[in-house]
Amino acid sequence: MAVNEIPQVIYAPQKILKRVIENPKYLAAIIIFILFIGVMIGYEYVQFSKTDVEITSPTVGNLPTFLNETLWTAPSYTSLSNNGADFFNYSVYAPNGTSSSVLSGYYSLFGNTSLEMDASNANNIMANLTNVFNVDCGAPSGFQNLSMTIKQVEPAGVPQSATLTLYSVNASNFYTYDLTSDLSNASAIGLWNNLTIPVGPNAQGWAIGGGSPSWGKVTALQLAINYPSGSNITVRIGALFFRGQYESALALDGTEFALGFLEAFSLQFLFTWLVLTGIIYLFFKLLKATVTWKPLFVAVAFALLVMVIRGVVNIAAAATLPTVYYPFEATIATGPNLLGALTYPSAALGALSTQSQVAVNAIYSATAGFGDVILVMFAVSYVWLGALCTIIVGTLKQDYSMTKRIVISAASIGVTILLLLLLIGVV
């Protein structure tokens, strides 16, 4: 059978499937398999190329790093420790198996301790995080924000002044930012306060404090808080990291992407091919019909050309997607759904911050049309596959009524989809 006869499945299915059954050859079936893998990887590639994920410093798995008191220095009047009783507890949904620490489906982003700064009978407190990072906040694609979660435990009054300093390379080159207004809410004393501070050459509120600092190489920071009179001071930091840099999901690990989908889609095709053939074959045996495996097996492979066509349409739909930007805490659980579309599980949306919920809801809205297309193509492809299987059954057993052919085909398709969902997780 010539390879150029494969497209006849689309416009002359009865003719070509009859010929396949009479003279089954595996070569064309293997070509359809290869086409399916190529098209489906292309579908995912286009999707991932339209998906940017937020990068943090430290990286998501190492976010508690900046809270480690051993990385901080302080003057003699300020003591540093890690507090395991009071910390910023922020857990987001993650698929089981994402990390060895994921036991119940939720992942703690910032660990289970906070950085505590204490001073006795003092009017200021100060601490430095030095030489543990080198972040680029200067490039258009660099980090855009510094996030800080802070709790003022005591004294009961608000600070007289507070300053955040970012150093560039050494202590002589630095920027300063006035945090006083961010810490001036008396009702927030004793509560975790989330701060998002813009950074970079276009960020407002920063001043050059000394030397010639560069936003392209930020290497250390200092937090200093001053009070109007001497008192016991306790301040805790529950989350501290740079954010606002986005990178294509493909750029993170293109090799893993390719290998992962090569495995997934190979399993999908081979499993569908084998199981669908096996169920139809079993129906024949139960009905005492004499049928040879190979003609049926090769004919079902030809019928699976509809899945290649489905993939081509999905690629076209994915090409219309806008670039979407997933916040860092949503990327852990974002992945392909049963139809291969990238999504964040809506049931876990409440685990995200309000800001990230807004971002994910915007992604839902932007990709809704795409989701409708691939859902329709899912239904169309399996109805079409069922129709082709009906032709195959009728060709093999011409004495079967049309009702019997349709029942065998529909039941076989239904069981195959169910087993795909249970065992492969993609249909």
Q: Do 70 and 206 have their domain in common?
A: yes
CB-side neighbour CA atoms (13 Å) of 271: 19
Judge whether 172 and 139 are in contact, CB under 8 Å.
Answer: no
Q: Which of 247, 281, 306 is the last residue of a domain?
A: 247
Judge whether 356 and 331 are in contact, CB under 8 Å.
Answer: no
Q: Do 236 and 317 have their domain in common?
A: no
Work out the burial of residue 177: count CB atoms within 10 Å of its CB; fewer than 13 is exposed, 13-18 middle, 19 or more buried: buried
Can you tell me whether residue 135 is helix, strand or coil? Answer: strand
Can you tell me whether residue 386 is helix, strand or coil? Answer: helix
**What is the DSSP secondary-structure string of 137-199?**
-SSTTS--EEEEEEEEEESSSPPSEEEEEEEESEEEEEEEEE-GGGG--GGGTTSEEEEEEE-
Tokens of 68: 């480690």
Q: Which of 247, 282, 306 is the last residue of a domain?
A: 247
Report the pLDDT value the prediction gives residue 96, as an integer from 0 to 100. 60
Q: Do 38 and 83 have their domain in common?
A: no
Q: Do 106 and 224 have their domain in common?
A: yes
Q: Do 101 and 196 have their domain in common?
A: yes
Q: Closest Cα to residue 64, out of 45, 83, 77?
A: 83
pTM for this structure? 0.88
Tokens of 187: 């009702």
Q: What are the two backbone dihedrals, phi and then psi, of residue 195, each rounded to the nearest 5 degrees?
A: -115, 135
Report the pLDDT value the prediction gives residue 261, as an integer from 0 to 100. 86
d(CA 104, CA 102): 6
Q: Is cis: bond before 228, omega within 30 of 0?
A: no
Q: Do 263 and 385 have their domain in common?
A: yes
Strand partners, 233: 119
Q: Do 269 and 400 have their domain in common?
A: yes
Tokens of 254: 């293109």
Q: Do 26 and 60 have their domain in common?
A: no
Q: Which of 213, 247, 281 is the last residue of a domain?
A: 247
Count Cβ atoms below 10 Å from residue 83 Cβ, excluding itself.
20
Q: Do 372 and 332 have their domain in common?
A: yes
Q: Do 136 and 237 have their domain in common?
A: yes
Q: Do 276 and 399 have their domain in common?
A: yes
d(CA 339, CA 331): 19
The segments of the chain whose pLDDT lies below 70 read 1-2, 96-104, 253-254
The single-letter DSSP state of residue 320 is T
Q: Closest Cα to residue 225, out of 152, 146, 161?
A: 161
Helix%, strand%, coil% for the chain, nearest 5: 45, 30, 25
pLDDT digits (tens, 9 = 90+) for 107-127: 889 999 999 999 999 999 999
Number of structural domains the chain divides into: 2
Q: Return the CATH number at 73.
A: 2.60.120.260
d(CA 398, CA 292): 15
d(CA 130, CA 222): 8
Q: Do 379 and 414 have their domain in common?
A: yes
Residue 124's domain spans which residues? 55-247
Which residue is it, tokens 């009906």? Answer: 390
Report the pLDDT value the prediction gives residue 2, as an integer from 0 to 100. 56
Q: Closest Cα to residue 159, out of 128, 124, 127, 192?
A: 124
Judge whether 174 and 211 are in contact, CB under 8 Å.
Answer: yes
Judge whether 29 and 301 are in contact, CB under 8 Å.
Answer: yes
Query: Amino acid identity of 121?
Result: N
Report the pLDDT value the prediction gives residue 102, as an integer from 0 to 100. 38
d(CA 56, CA 71): 18
